[in-house]
Structure 1
Amino acid sequence: MLRVALNGMTHAIAQGVILAHRFAGILFLSFCLVTPSHTETRRPEPDEAARKWTTIKKPLRKAAETEGKWEVFKDITVDAGKSVVLDSRIDYSSLDKVAVAVRSASDSLSDLEDLTLQTFWSVPDADYFSAAEIKFGRTFPFTNSGSVLFGVYGSEFRLILRNEGGLSLKVGQLLIFCRSQ
């Protein structure tokens, strides 16, 4: 009889522990959903952008206005532990993929293994850019050159190049090429 009472009490304690874990999980998820994401970037004011990162911005153009739906950025230096923001001038609203090809500068001894490419997307009426995908230079087949393919999640594209290494990284050329199916 004592054994039956203990088994019942053990079962009740186990149920209480399970409920406590569920409550803690719900509380944690609620906190994550309510607080703004640290990866979400607000559209910076020009003076704010200069303080936090280097921004290379071109005027917005329709994809049909660019020759072959592409654009090229040249001679980009990303200091150690810093980021460079590239704002594309293409309107991506009618596209579904964007390819990015990167090549280090020919006079550079640095490789692209410490490079991180982060994509952010927005639309004209939105207050924020939303983070979408991250690709790493260490996955490139060569240390001085590589390419990645990203999905399109908005009409405005922002690519952030982040140098995770201890030395400055020199990108000789970055090509953005748009694809649609």
Structure 2
Amino acid sequence: MRNWFPNCRQGFPLAMVAAAACSIAGCMSYGETVVYQLYQTNADRCAQNETDACVAMLQSSCEAPVRVCTDYVPEFQAQASKQLSQKCQANDEAACQALDAVACNNGDYAVCARLGDAYAKLYASCKAGSAADCESLSLSVWPKKQTDLADIACKSGNTIACRVVSSSASAMKVNVNRDAQFAMF
């Protein structure tokens, strides 16, 4: 039997992933398949109202093979943006803050200043003993600048900052071997 998909081999343990990848756009290399699946997972999480996954989609830079970056990632990012925008328009505070975090990361100074003030107020209240504000602080999506500062404070022993860093660790940065291929059996 002739193999129409040269990178899809019998015996591949994740045959379902390979079959899905092959049905999408011919057959993807291993690197393309891994990257596609990572983005698809976050897109699915975003669709399930997980705001951090939507932000991860919007903030991640595509370091995958060109075909994945140009064919799939813009579509995933557009879906994430639409999801957050719809939720924000429906008065979902977390979605609005997530959009603000993305805007800040893209250089909007006024939004960054507003988020910095909000972070400072929640931090002060958390430090004063407000469990609700500690929870809100750690569950909110913050801009990269804020999480970088929290990371520095965490390394100095600040437990509140460590909670912020820990919760923001779900942000995705895809980094796989671009040239990887399925092994020949």
TM-score (norm 1): 0.25
Per residue, is there more helix in 1 or in 2?
A: 2
Choose 1 or 2 for highest CA Rg. Answer: 1
